[in-house]
C-alpha cells in the first residue's frame, strides 16, 4: 500500500483529534466520509466539508475476543457502528456501550502496533 492510500483518512483523523470533525456533503444532502471525490449515493462531484454532529448513537456493536495479529494485544475490544446523522462511523468503543449509547468521536491508539484509530467515547 502506498503512503498516499490513507492520506484523506489520516487528515480526517487529525481533524477528529483536534475537535474539528467533519463529513463530506453533496448538493443533495448525502453525507459520506473522506477520502471521497464523488458522492457514493448520487455521483455528485461538488462535496463540501460539513461539521460532524458532536454526538452519535451506537446502532450495533460486537466484542472481539480473537483478533488478527495486528490487534493481538488489544483483545478484548468492542467494534461499533454509530449513527451521526448524515453518516455512520465504525470505530472502537468503550466496553460498556450498548445499542442507543450516546458517544462522541475521538482518536485512540492500538495497543499492539500503536496505530491511530477512531474511538467512541461515552457522552
pLDDT tens for the chain, residues 1 to 123: 445 557 788 999 999 999 999 999 999 999 999 989 999 999 999 999 999 999 999 999 999 999 999 899 999 999 999 999 999 999 999 878 999 999 999 999 999 999 999 999 999
Strand intervals (E) in 1-122 = 22-25, 31-32, 48-51, 56-64, 77-83, 88-93, 102-109, 116-122
Q: What is the DSSP letter of 117?
A: E
Question: How many CA atoms lie less than 13 Å away from 55 in the CB half-sphere?
Answer: 8
pTM: 0.89
pLDDT at 1: 43
8 Å CB contact between 80 and 91? yes
pLDDT at 99: 97
Amino acid at each position: 500500500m502506498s503512503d498516499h492510500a490513507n492520506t484523506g483518512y489520516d487528515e480526517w483523523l487529525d481533524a477528529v483529534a483536534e475537535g474539528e470533525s467533519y463529513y463530506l456533503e453533496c448538493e443533495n444532502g448525502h453525507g459520506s466520509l473522506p477520502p471521497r471525490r464523488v458522492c457514493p449515493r448520487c455521483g455528485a462531484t461538488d462535496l463540501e466539508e460539513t461539521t460532524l454532529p458532536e454526538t452519535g448513537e451506537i446502532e450495533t456493536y460486537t466484542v472481539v475476543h480473537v483478533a488478527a495479529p495486528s490487534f493481538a494485544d488489544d483483545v478484548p475490544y468492542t467494534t461499533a457502528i454509530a449513527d451521526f446523522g448524515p453518516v455512520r462511523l465504525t470505530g472502537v468503543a468503550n466496553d460498556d456501550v450498548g445499542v442507543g449509547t450516546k458517544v462522541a468521536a475521538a482518536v485512540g491508539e492500538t495497543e499492539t502496533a500503536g496505530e491511530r484509530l477512531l474511538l467512541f467515547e461515552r457522552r
